[in-house]
Each structure stands twice: as C-alpha cells, then as structure tokens.
Structure 1
Amino acid sequence: MPQEYKRKTNRGSNPDFLQRAAADVQGGSSIRSAAKDHGVDCSTLKRYMEKQRDDPEGVSGYQNCKIKNLIFPPEMETELAQHIKDLAASYNGLSKEKCCSLTYEYAMRNRVEVPDNWQTTQKAGQSFWLGFKKRHNLAIRSPEATSLARATAFNRHTVGKFYDNLASVMDQHKFQAQDIYNLDETGCTTVQKPGNVVAPKGVKQVGSVTSAERGELVTVVNTISAGGAVLPPLFLFPRVNYREHFIRGGPVGSIGGATRTGWINTETFVGYMDHFIHHTRCTPERKVLLILDNHEAHISLAAVDKAKANGVALLTIPPHTSHRLQPLDTAIYGPYKRAYARAMDAWMRSNPGKTVSIYDLPSLVNEVHVCACVPRNILSGFRSAGIYPFNRDIFTDADYAPANAPAENAPDADQAEKTGAPAADLENAPAAQDSDAPAAVPTENSDTTADAGSSGNPDGPTTSRASTSTYVSPRDIEPFPKAAPRKGRATNRKKGSTKILTDTPVRDEIAAANKAKENKKQAANTNARKSLFTKPQSRSKRKKLPSESSSSSESDMDMELSDTSDDSDVDDDQEDIIEGDFVIVKVHRKTRTMHYIARVDGFDADEYEGVFLRRVLSRNDDRATFVVDTEDEALWLQEDIAKKLPTPTVSGTSL
C-alpha cells in the first residue's frame, strides 16, 4: 500500500469550482448540469452537497480526510514538531528512533488513541513518521561535530564585543572593502580523504587507494580581502632547514618556511607579516585592517610592533567563534578541502605506484586556489560574517540558541558585565517546562477521554482525542539538557577575548605579559643551570674515593663529570665544537625548558646531530655518572646549545 495516495486527475481539486457548482444547484440547477458547466465530476458534487447538508460548517474534500485521520490534534502535533526543532537548534537534536519514542510517550501521557502497532513496538509507526516529516518540514540531517566550547562561546554578548571593536576601528580609519583582510591557517596532509566512487550494490566494503596510512602535515597560511582578492600563501614544512625547491609549482608569489612541527610559531608569523605588508602596500598613511584569531603565534610583541609601524591594524576574533566570524572558515575552507581531496585523487591516479610527498603539495594547492579562492566565495564569507558590508545583526536568535537560554531564563548582557563572564557561562539550560504551554488542548471531542491502553485500527490511524484535565507537553517528557555550572580549570592562562592589538593600551599589556614571561623563563634556565653544574654542599666535602674499574661485560660507556666543572672552566665559544664533544642542549617543552647532555656525532653549518646521555646511579657519591643512549638520536640547532662541556672522565674499559 502506498504511503500517500496520489490523485490520478485534477477534477474537483479546486474548492472554488465545487462551491460555484453547489451554489448553482441551490439556485435550482440539476447536479448533472452544474457539474458539467463547472468541470466537476457528478459524483464528487453529489457527495459534496450531502456533506454540506449534514455539516454546513465542516471542511469538505481531501483536507477533511487528512484532519480526521490524524493521530494527534493539529495543536498537539504542532507543539511536538516545534519542540523537536528547538532541540535541534540548541545542538541537542533527536534521532529518528528517539523522535518516534517521544511521540509514543507523548500520546500515552495525554491518553491519545494510537494504532495497535504503536503498542507493540512502543514507538510511532513508519507511516506516521513520513507524514509527520512532510507536514512540518522536517528532515534527517548529519550534524556537524561542535565542541562544547564553540557551542557556548558563540553568544550575543561575546559577538557584540567583536562588532563593537570592528565598528570602532572602521569608523576611525574609514576602511574600504579592499583594505579589510582575513588571515587563517589550514593543514594539508599527504593522505587525502577519498571521495565517493561507483561500486556494486550490496558490497560491504569499498576501498580507495591513498598515499599512506598516516601522512605528514604542511601548514598553509592564507589571506583574503573583502574586495575579493587573495594573497599568495605561506607554506610551513616540518623540517629544520628550508630550501627554495620546497614550494616548486606553488601559487605565483608564494613563500615557504620550516619549523620542526610544521606548525606556525611566533618567528614564522613575524616573517609572514613582511610578506603581507609587501603585497598589500600598506603604509602608516594608508592603513589596512587584518582580522585573525587568538592563536598564540599571532599575539606577540614583535608582530604587533611591526604591524603598527607599517599601518596594519590587528583585530582578533573571540576564542571559539571562528566557525561563524572568520570568512576563511565559513566560505573558503569547505570548498578548499573538497577541491584538495579531488586534486589528491587525480594525482594518485595519474601517478600509480607513487606516494605523495610534502614537496608535491604546493602544486596541488595551486590547483585548489583556482577552484576555491574565487571572488564569489570570498565576498560571501565576509558578508555571512557581517564584517563587510558591516551588519552586527546578521545572526538571529536561532544562531545563538546553543549558548542562550529561553527568553524567560536568558542572562542579559548587564548581568554578564557584572560577573565579568560571557553570557554563555551563566545558566545556559532552559527551564524544564514552558510557562506559556497550554494547560489543556481543546479537541473536537474534549468531553471524552480515551484509555491509555486502548488501541485503534492497526491498518490505519484512528480519531484523536486528548484529556483536558492533565496535559503533558513534549518539553516535560524530553526537557532541554541542563548542565551543571562549569568548573574553572586550575590554570594561570588568561582567557582570551576580542581585542584591537595595535591599540596602545593593548600593546602595552602584551609587552608587560611578554616581559613577565621572559623573566620567568630566565629564572627557570638559571635554576636548571644550577641543578646541572652546582653540587650539593654536603657532597663537595666528602672525601673522594678512587673509582672502581667496571666489569668487562659493561657495554655502555660511563662518564663522570668533573666536580670542578663551573662556568669559569667552560669555553663559551661554541664555534669550535667538533665531533665527539659533549654539550648541554636546551629542549623546549610546552611550559618549561629542559636541559640534556648530548654527544656531537656530526654537524652541518648550524645543525648538529648526535645522541643523548642518560643518568645512572653513580658509583661515587660526589660525581654524576652518565651513559650514552645509542637509540636516543636527535638533531638540534646551534642556538639550542647552552654550553660546551669539558672532556669527561671515562670509567670502565669497554667502549
């Protein structure tokens, strides 16, 4: 049986024709002649006249059949559909199975008659679900994963501060479209995400060849303008030293760089600012605006000073809002990634048996720029973010729904200002029950209450009836998730916000934070140096004992640092380091700098290679003993060498 009847003809489909024919019949014409004059079927007109005689105020035709065959009254069904839409808007959408279960419980709690198959499966049937979707414009969608931080950070208060700063800087400098730029980084890997392919129906697994299982990452820094232009990109390779041939085949005018991780850092961003200034031709007299995120590499004193000296106004967007406020994210990187995957697939088919290396990526990115970085996408990105043309009301209440509570519980901006926290951090969840929900839903047969366990015709829906005494709304059954207040993390890291970095007060704040960070780093390096070269006083007074010779089975080389190794005995000139020397290497961690002893096995210009040493239990109480770990090989730069050590004392007979 079809899910929905489809009419074969259009006769009688227009109610106006039926009403005119009925008026002629009431005026004395016969049913047959009136039906012929108005192009209406004779039987249809006869049934219409009978229904009008029995129920003059009722609705005739197919619309009446639809209303009579509904499970729920229109008011109840509309409220159920609206609650499902509200849950989806708050990023708490329900699956099809959950919606059907909610519909069944909604009917049972309000004592609505349902078909027998609902009682058997404890959920709404497929026929109801298909009609329910069509009547209320619903569809099953694949949601985009959105972190809790993004869902709560994008609120009216935080976004309003960004537009305040944007309006301030635009009013001050009178920027035009060609003077407004957006910068952001994206990652390109040597392993693509395969696209859809045509395969036999019913096959459980369909494969597609990729370059490798786990690829290497190259960071690409892109900049676009509100006028539709795009600047040549910067490629950052995961290498220690950069060579010009790395970007062969890339977009015209592109530049390259190298970092150990392939990610952008403060030094590379300051270098990119020279590239940006060169292509925008900005000066202190002709300023430009650069909008970027709050990445740590972007907020450095060197970058702010260079931008301010060359007429670049830096404006940061609020943290965790780039998916809405950053034009590159909203309109460019979606087509960019899809075009990149297609280019990688084409390369793999054109070069069978070969793998993609990081040096092939610039040529692939060149193809991507032609497809994705087009003026139409760029202009759409700035327009959708409300940056240009300036529109601070571009986002509606539905866009803020994941962060904001309903109107009766929503925290206002004044309350957020008093607490010093964004509005999203204040009680985000709505109330369990809507105060505007009706206490009862009137129905055609409101005086009759159906038994909760009764069932209708299993082959079709039955007449809907609901109790007027106690009404249960969908929000009572499936309320909005209410999260407990978020606990603050025990960290000294200051929470970021939108700022005009080139303003003097903000610049001075960055300088003070940078100075405090440098002082803390110097203190940590001093303590680390003392721990390496200064012996405890209790050990220095002990009597030195001759070292015992190690056994011949010892496979490692034990070295004891001389207890007289102080700063005066060490040559600070690092240019005379040769193979076999021992040095102290600085290893920068996320929060501190560690110092390790290493043996130099080779060098090229300012790059050294060798192995690290590990400390073992000393046989003499007054000397530190280290052994060479041949498996712990590494590369380091000359700037990472903290000190050259004197020749150690070798203990043992085996090398």
Structure 2
Amino acid sequence: MKAAIRSVRVNKKSVNSAAKEHGIPEPTLRRYLRKYDDEIFPCNAGRFKPTFSEEQLQNLFQYIVAIDKRAFGLTKNQLAKVIYNYAENKKIPHRFCTEKRRAGRHFVEWFMQKYNLSLRCPEATSVARLMAFNRENVIKFFEALRELREKYSFQPHQIYNVDETGVSTVATKNPKIITPKEKRRAVKVSSAERGSSVTAVCCMNASGSFVPPFLIFPRVRMQSSFMNGAPPGSDGVASESGWMTANIFVSYLKHYIRNVRPNKESPVLLLMDNHASHVTLEAVNLCRDNNIILLGFPAHTSHRMQPLAVSLYGPLQTAYSRACEDFLSSNPGRVISLFDIASLFGRAYLKVATISNAVSGFKATGIEPFNSQIFTDDDFEAAATTERDIGTPRSEINEQSNKVEEKAIEESDMQQPSTSGVCCLLSNSEPRKTPKKDNRENISNEEVACGLPSLPRTESKTRRPRKKLPSLVISSTPVKDTLEEKHKEKIKKEQIKREKDLQKTKEKDARKKSSPVQAIPICIYKVFQSSIGFITKLQSSGKDKNINIIFN
C-alpha cells in the first residue's frame, strides 16, 4: 500500500496502473489516497499486526546468512522452527501453530521472498575440506606460485593441472523421468546396485589444451579391448585395486612427457595434490630430469583451488551419466561392463573438454591470470566452525636431522623457490608456533539478537592431528634429499628384517638336525612310538604269544 501510494503521488502514475502493479484493488487504493495526506501513509495492514519488527526480521536474516557461510544451511522445516523459537524466546505475540511448534508455510515463503532467499541443492563437502580451506593455507600456496612464476616466467600454455576422477559402470547422477501422477514409484533401469570404478587421469593447461586421458582399470592384466572408443591418444594400465599408485603415477608422467615434451627452454609447471602416490623419489627424479616443476596444493583444498575440480569434473560426471542412460536405452537387457567404459567416457570427455572450461577453471581459482585475492573472507567462514588453531601442517616427511634442515635453508635461495615451508618439514624439532587467528569480522552470538540458536562451533580436542603435506614445490632439492633419506632408511629396515628372518631360518634348521628322527615326519614318529609301547606291554604280560612271534 505504501509503495502504491508513493507511485501515485511521487512517480505521478495513474491509480489504475499503480493498483495493477502492486496487486491492490483500485477502490481500496482510491480510499487510502483520499484518507491520508501527502506525507502520511498507513502504518499497518488493517487489523492484522505484523509479528516481527523490521529490526527483528533483519536479525533473523543475518543469522541465516551467518549459518549458511559456515556450511550449516537451514532447510525450510528448520527455518520454520527457528522462527517459532525466536518468537517464543523473545516473548513476541504470534499466531504460529503451537502444536507443531513451527512457523507457517506462508510466513516462511514470504520471509524468503522478502530477503531474496532461495532453496538450493547443496554440494556435500567433508569436514576435513571445510577446515583445511583457510586463509593461511591459501596464502602459502599463492606465495609459492608467485615465486615460481617470477623465476621461470611461465606462460599460460606452460601451466598444467593434473588430477584423478572416478567413472563407474553405474551412473552417479540419475535424471528426472516422465511418469503418470497416479503412479506411486518411478523406476529407471541401472546396470547394477554397485558398479566397478575406473580411475581417469585428466590434465589441461591454462590456454585450453588437454593432455590425452590416462585410464586405470581394476584388473590384474590389461587388455587392449578395454580402450575401445577412448579419446584419441589415450593410454591405459591395469591395477588390482583400480586406484592410483606410485608406480602407475610414474607411468603417467612418462605418458605426459610424450605428449607435452618439456625442455630446458620451455619448462612446465604441473599443479597437483600432495597424495602419497605423487610424492615419491622416482617421480621427483623423473620430473627433474625432464624440466617439470611440481607444485602441490594444500591437503583437502582441491575442491576450491584445483581447476579440474572446479570447471571440468562436474560437467564430465553429468555428461557421463547421460551417456550411460543413452547406452541402456539403446541396448535393452544389456549392462555396462568395463569394456564399455572407455567409449562412454570418450563421448562425455569430448563434449566437456573445451577451451572455455579449461580457461574458466584456471581463472576461477586465481592461477591464471594470477589473482591471490580471488577468495574473500566469506569463502573462509566455514573454517571458523572450529576453535582449533590453524598452524603449519605436519608432513609425512618430518624425521630428518638438523643438517638436512640447514641444507634446505641454504639451498632455498639457489634452487627451486617456495621451499620455506619445507624447512619445517625436514626438521626433527617441534613445529613452529601457530599464528594468531584471523581477526575477520564474524557474526557472533552477541551480534545476533538473543533468542536465536548459537552458531555452530566445535571445541578444540587434545589429540594428535593427522600428518598432512602443506603446499610445497615437490620437485625442489630439499624434498628430493628428504625422499632419498627416507628411501635409505626403508632399505636399511628391509635389510635388517631379512637378516632376522635368515637367522630364524638357521636356528630352525639347527633344531631339526638335533632331533632323533629327522627323515620321518613328526606325526608318523609319534604313532610309531605309541605302537612300540603298546606291543612292549603285551610282551611283558605274556597274554598273547602270537604278538611275541610277530614282534620278533
């Protein structure tokens, strides 16, 4: 009503057009125009008073935004309960249902429309990812990336990202189907309840070029028919588990080198996650020999910082699911097997492996063009759910001598940059003190009006954190030296174990030689001993003379 009156008197609209625009009956609008002066507008909607004031509604909106930033978004039912409890705690008179203890559906929809709130399907994100994606980890990654770009002057076509994804014989995304309304259940055919997964390794650069995929099949022996219909230039191997291993990653690096062909005049930067299968001595030596600089993302941050995960793998899974649906519809009674995955994956991959997807992925993560401020404070709000201090992550490569630490510090300026984070990894001392928490503005319980539930926050637990690799240059000299030391220790432990096993075998052979009957098995020897004792007893008793004759 206020807006309609303002449209007529301020904007000089006609009564008919203002009534139609704001959905108000024309006679009602004319009555209010005659009743109120130019500067006086109606303050209520008749006999129905509003339940909440504008300030209280704003507090509710701020609470919803704050809890959504922390990845604890509310459903419609939860929002209705929050509104009801807020009115009860503030002792505000209301007309909500006291039996269900929740606000009405119409009020919830009006509130969402007023503050431009939408109901969306969220992306499931693990707690480890939410906690790891914090400002400290992101800053360290971009510092390492900046140093590498300044030293090698990488161009977009020299910056690559590699990552793995899984494709299964069962589609992961089921489309909606058309079915009669009176039908209670909607059914869609599928290959199986649980399918076999194949690992697909994809790689792209910031200029929009793609390296042919690399497929890992869950089989002991590789068959050439597995690769029928795969994208041109693709390669594949067989693995008992179907997952990436250290040896398979070395095989992929050779496949990558054959297609990219880096050299001294044009080295390449390869971005990847710090999985244990990627950080091996053989892989580091192969990359160093072929002018490949390896830079790892912080642990559990690939969902926001890895271009492949941001722009390619989502559309790829959707296109692959559609290809599976088309295959099942075109081949009734037939199921998808491992022999069909390569062709289905190839159809989906060729649709989504476009220049625009590759370029947008690197741009959205701030890698190319370089933008270290691509993520704002709102992006790190989910990490505020915990009260744990965010310190320097501890590495799996952390048991080294002080000499190695000094060597890493001395070589950090001469060799690959961004090895300052490696120094603490190589040391055998205690980790550095954690920096202070970020003092960014968060909506705390005091800032939100009383009567609302407290924002989610977990208490700090006194437990040893799991060792994780930070963002570091994997192909740097300090990391290589550390891996060599670990390799020597592993060989030494295996040698000690072999010596112990050999000693045990010698002692066992010596005990066998000292036994009375060596050639006869133990079980036969015991039966023979019991038989001799029984016959001896019969002889001494003289009850059976035939036995004496047989025995003699």
User: TM-score band (shorter)?
Assistant: 0.7 to 0.9
User: 2:275: which partner in 1?
Assistant: 295
Secondary structure class of the residue paired with 2:241: coil
Which of 298, 303, 318 does residue 338 from structure 1 map onto?
Answer: 318
Contact kept, 8 Å, 2:70 with 2:385, in 1: the verdict is no
Q: 1:544 to 1:108 in 2, by over 3 A?
A: same
The CA deviation at 1:427 is 13
Q: Distance in 1 between matches of 2:475 and 2:138?
A: 20
Contact kept, 8 Å, 1:181 with 1:290, in 2: the verdict is yes
Which of 401, 420, 423 does residue 381 from structure 2 map onto?
Answer: 401
Give the structure with the higher percent strand.
Answer: 1
Contact kept, 8 Å, 2:219 with 2:239, in 1: the verdict is yes
The CA deviation at 1:260 is 1.4
Letter in 2 for 1:148: V
Q: 1:14 to 1:518 in 2, by over 3 A?
A: farther
190-199 or 275-284, which deviates more: 190-199
Contact kept, 8 Å, 2:217 with 2:237, in 1: the verdict is yes
Is 2:165 aligned against 1:186? yes
Contact kept, 8 Å, 2:170 with 2:195, in 1: the verdict is yes
Q: 1:490 to 1:390 in 2, by over 3 A?
A: closer
**Structure with more relative contact order (C-alpha pairs < 8 Å, separation 6 or more):** 2
User: 2:36: which partner in 1?
Assistant: 51
Number of residue equivalences: 483
User: 1:15: which partner in 2?
Assistant: 6
User: 2:291: which partner in 1?
Assistant: 311
Letter in 2 for 1:517: K
Secondary structure class of the residue paired with 2:270: strand
Q: 1:103 to 1:499 in 2, by over 3 A?
A: same
Contact kept, 8 Å, 2:390 with 2:437, in 1: the verdict is no
Is 2:110 aligned against 1:131? yes
The CA deviation at 1:489 is 4.5
Q: Distance in 1 between matches of 2:500 and 2:436?
A: 42
User: 2:265: which partner in 1?
Assistant: 285
Q: For residues 592-645 of structure 1, give each alpha carbon's deviation from its aligned partner in whole angstroms, at most 9, with x where no partner exists.
A: xxxxxxxxxxxxxxxxxxxxxxxxxx999xxxxxxxxxxxxxxxxxxxxxxxxx
Which of 517, 521, 531 does residue 547 from structure 1 map onto?
Answer: 521
Contact kept, 8 Å, 1:405 with 1:427, in 2: the verdict is no
Letter in 1 for 2:461: R
Which of 305, 317, 322 does residue 302 from structure 2 map onto?
Answer: 322
Unmatched tracts of structure 2, length 5 or more: 20-24, 395-420, 422-429, 529-552
Q: 1:222 to 1:525 in 2, by over 3 A?
A: farther
Contact kept, 8 Å, 2:197 with 2:218, in 1: the verdict is yes
Q: Distance in 2 between matches of 1:414 and 1:231?
A: 34
Contact kept, 8 Å, 2:5 with 2:29, in 1: the verdict is no
The CA deviation at 1:283 is 0.4
Q: 1:437 to 1:264 in 2, by over 3 A?
A: closer
Which of 198, 210, 214 does residue 230 from structure 1 map onto?
Answer: 210
The CA deviation at 1:203 is 2.9
Letter in 2 for 1:125: G
Which of 471, 475, 482 does residue 457 from structure 2 map onto?
Answer: 482
Q: For residues 155-182 of structure 1, give each alpha carbon's deviation from its aligned partner in whole angstroms, at most 9, with x where no partner exists.
A: 0001111111111111111111111100
Q: Distance in 2 between matches of 1:144 and 1:422?
A: 31
Q: Distance in 2 between matches of 1:368 and 1:322?
A: 22
User: 2:60: which partner in 1?
Assistant: 80
RMSD: 3.8
Contact kept, 8 Å, 1:291 with 1:315, in 2: the verdict is yes
Which of 94, 107, 118 does residue 74 from structure 2 map onto?
Answer: 94
User: 1:146: which partner in 2?
Assistant: 125
Letter in 2 for 1:485: S
Letter in 2 for 1:484: E
Is 2:424 aligned against 1:433? no
Contact kept, 8 Å, 1:404 with 1:428, in 2: the verdict is no
Residues 172-571 of structure 1: pairs in structure 2 closer than 5 A = 172-193=151-172, 194-404=174-384, 420=432, 433-434=445-446, 436-437=447-448, 472-474=450-452, 478-489=453-464, 494-528=467-501, 530-531=503-504, 534-535=507-508, 541-544=514-517, 546-547=520-521
Q: Distance in 2 between matches of 1:66 and 1:276?
A: 73
Secondary structure class of the residue paired with 2:148: helix
Q: 1:125 to 1:250 in 2, by over 3 A?
A: same
Q: Distance in 2 between matches of 1:276 and 1:134?
A: 51
The CA deviation at 1:508 is 1.5
The CA deviation at 1:186 is 1.1
Q: Distance in 2 between matches of 1:419 and 1:549?
A: 60
Q: 1:240 to 1:525 in 2, by over 3 A?
A: farther
TM-score (norm 1): 0.66
Q: 1:44 to 1:103 in 2, by over 3 A?
A: closer
User: 1:554: which partner in 2?
Assistant: none
User: 1:563: which partner in 2?
Assistant: none
Secondary structure class of the residue paired with 2:130: helix
Letter in 1 for 2:459: A
Q: 1:352 to 1:66 in 2, by over 3 A?
A: farther
The CA deviation at 1:228 is 0.7
**Percent of aligned positions that are identical:** 30
The CA deviation at 1:282 is 0.8
The CA deviation at 1:64 is 5.3
Letter in 2 for 1:185: E
Unmatched tracts of structure 1, length 5 or more: 1-6, 23-30, 439-471, 551-559, 561-617, 621-655
Secondary structure class of the residue paired with 2:357: helix
Q: Distance in 2 between matches of 1:398 and 1:200?
A: 44
117-126 or 301-310, which deviates more: 117-126
Q: 1:12 to 1:484 in 2, by over 3 A?
A: closer
Letter in 2 for 1:134: Q
Contact kept, 8 Å, 1:282 with 1:311, in 2: the verdict is yes
Q: Distance in 2 between matches of 1:144 and 1:43?
A: 47
* Runs of 4+ more than 6 Å apart: 40-43, 409-419, 421-432, 536-540
The CA deviation at 1:518 is 3.2
Q: 1:430 to 1:391 in 2, by over 3 A?
A: closer
User: 1:571: which partner in 2?
Assistant: none
Q: Distance in 2 between matches of 1:498 and 1:167?
A: 13
Q: Distance in 1 between matches of 2:79 and 2:28?
A: 41
Contact kept, 8 Å, 1:411 with 1:427, in 2: the verdict is no
Q: 1:374 to 1:16 in 2, by over 3 A?
A: same
Q: 1:167 to 1:429 in 2, by over 3 A?
A: closer
Letter in 2 for 1:499: L
